[in-house]
Homo-oligomer: A and B are copies of this chain.
Amino acid sequence: MSAAETPTTERLSRERILDAATRIVDEEGPKGLSMRRLAQELDVWPMSVYRYFQDKAELVDAVVDRATADIGEQSTAGGSWKGRLRSLLRETRAALAAQPAEFRVRFTAADSSPAALRVTEAGLADLREGGFSQEAAGACWRALLAYTIGFAGLAEVDEDEFDRGLRVLLDGLEAELGAGD
């Protein structure tokens, strides 16, 4: 009993905390997530969470980061650069649309999440492969990302409608910035 303990509850960890936080947000909405409610869900003292996250803001950022962490995993494989890029942005829209609006804004915060940085790097790589200069790729990416994030916030959304607009924007940007300029 003293040598080999079998704890009734697993040891606390960032992973377990994020699981619980995500569960609360899914079931009770973003306003339901408080440090105290979270501690209760984990059967832990309120202050214990602060061992793993500096404050609530850091926790929320981690929740959003994890919810968007696997964007682009599906579609790094073959196909044209344009196809990959559209697939990347479709995944981005879907992942962001699944987040509550209050949390979604954290994805494009000034101090971007690791997930957001990875998505941006993947997108820029695709655009460079498509013949855009570094500067043109940057401008093009911001336009595509703006469209995607904005669409994620619209109600009654239609996946096909998103894709049609995305194609129009991408083709137009390619015609304007891809070859000449």
Contacts and interface: CB of A to CB of B under 8 A. Distances in A.
Nearest to A155: B110
Taking the full assembly, how many copies of this chain does it contain? Answer: 2
A160 B173 CA distance: 15
Interface stretch (A41-49, A73-81, A142-150): A142-150
A161 interface: yes
Interface in A122-175: 139, 142-143, 145-151, 153-155, 161, 164-165, 168-169, 171-173
Contacts of A165: 139, 142-143, 146, 169, 173
Interface residues of A, number: 29
Contacts of A109: 101
Given A102-B102, A108-B153, A154-B108, A142 B168 contact: no
Contact of A168 (B105, B145, B151, B176): B176
Nearest to A169: B169
